[in-house]
Amino acid sequence: DVKVTQSSRYLVKRTGEKVFLECVQDMDHENMFWYRQDPGLGLRLIYFSYDVKMKEKGDIPEGYSVSREKKERFSLILESASTNQTSMYLCASNSPGRGIAKNIQYFGAGTRLSVL
């Protein structure tokens, strides 16, 4: 079974703090993704990474950065947290070339971030 683990289920931070959200997957997947999930807006892609040290902006990258130093780990960084970044953050991974499982994304349990 694919396991995508997000380090925190809940986080409370103050405006202006630097925030790190961590995600680890154990299936040797090449691709990893960060989304935010908001009611009425669905899932919106923030960043994704298709290899170590490789990243690409998604639909809403402003205010975020990412780091992928190892294949299994993908970090989302909020350089200076703001209240409008209060949201549920989901990490996902997949592999583009794994036969029947190709392109299926596997999700972590999510991190609910509140910025006060």
Minimal distance, residue 76 CB to other proteins, in Å: 16
Smaller CB distance to other proteins: residue 42 or 62?
42
Smaller CB distance to other proteins: residue 16 or 96?
96
The binding site for other proteins (CB under 8 A) comprises 31, 33, 35, 40-45, 48, 50, 58, 90, 92, 94, 96, 103-105, 107-110
Minimal distance, residue 14 CB to other proteins, in Å: 27
Tell me how far apart the alpha carbons of residues 29 and 113 are, in angstroms, rounded to a whole number. 26
Smaller CB distance to other proteins: residue 81 or 94?
94
Question: In this structure, are residues 34 and 56 in contact, taking their beta carbons and an 8 Å threshold?
Answer: no
Minimal distance, residue 115 CB to other proteins, in Å: 22
